[in-house]
Amino acid sequence: MTHRITLLRHGLSVANRDGIVQGQSDFPLAEEGIKQAKRLAEFWKARNVNFRTIISSPLARAKQTAEIIADVLGDNIQYNDIWMERHQGDAQGMPYEIAKDWYVNKTHPSIHDPIYNTGESEWELYCRGGDGLLQLLRLVPDDYLIVSHGAILGAALRSALGIPPRDSHNAARLSFDNTGYAVLKYESDLPRWNLHALNQTCHLTCGSPEFFGSVE
């Protein structure tokens, strides 16, 4: 009895392109992000990949990515706020070049303190990522696609792999490129999580669909 969970970050958004901190601010995909999502959808179609359900953050950049994939694969979509991006507090909508210097002369918050004054703490994010996975494990064992955002996907991975939440701004990250995805499997009879792929982006670099092969 195995849950196979694919964690996918959305395509390049307008804010990604323009260097803006997004958090839970709502920005659509940029044209390049639309192309990335279409490329991934065709990549999966060529490999006969399908999902029982696509579960997406309701934020526009994730929603658009999920819709593009669903249109190609024929899968249904559900939306769930638990997969929204980390709230970045007062930095949301701020140019990244300004936000990155926010803590230069300040003490970086502990895992329990809000980020950027009013945002979501590392601990809250970590718990939300774990709760998102727990919701999935209560579903019928099958293949599920989560279309979401970098910070919350990283927190979910940490939770599954037993890695504590990041305790400083410079701590190691589990990163996802735009339309990069990870594959987790949960074997309930053991029970055990297995990480089978991390930040896969072969669909952006492997050539035309007829050359797509296994990346796992």
Identify which of 182, 208, 207 has the alpha carbon closest to the alpha carbon of residue 195: 182
Q: What burial class does residue 98 get, using C-beta atoms within 10 Å of its C-beta: 0-12 exposed, 13-18 middle, 19+ buried?
A: exposed
Give dist(CA 129, CA 138) in Å, integer: 15
- Provide the pLDDT confidence category of residue 107 given band limits of 50, 70 and 90: confident
Domains in the chain with CATH codes: 2-211 (3.40.50.1240)
The pLDDT, as a whole number, for residue 209 is: 47
Residue 85 one-letter amino acid = E
Identify which of 133, 131, 153, 158 has the alpha carbon closest to the alpha carbon of residue 199: 153
- The region of weakest confidence among 87-91, 134-138, 161-165, 172-176 is 172-176
Which tens digits make up the pLDDT trace of 128-156?
999 999 999 999 999 999 999 999 999 99
Which tens digits make up the pLDDT trace of 186-206?
999 999 999 999 999 999 987
Taking a C-beta distance cutoff of 8 angstroms, is the pair 126, 155 a contact? Answer: yes
Count of alpha carbons within 13 Å of 113, Cβ hemisphere only? 10
Query: How many CB atoms sit inside 10 A of residue 117's CB?
Result: 11
The pLDDT, as a whole number, for residue 207 is: 60
Which tens digits make up the pLDDT trace of 50-92?
999 999 999 999 999 999 999 999 999 999 999 999 999 999 9
For residue 24, pLDDT beyond 50:
yes
- Residues of the chain above pLDDT 70, percent: 95
Cα of first residue to Cα of last residue in the chain, in angstroms, is 20
Taking a C-beta distance cutoff of 8 angstroms, is the pair 103, 48 a contact? Answer: no
Give dist(CA 172, CA 162) in Å, integer: 14
For residue 120, pLDDT beyond 60:
yes
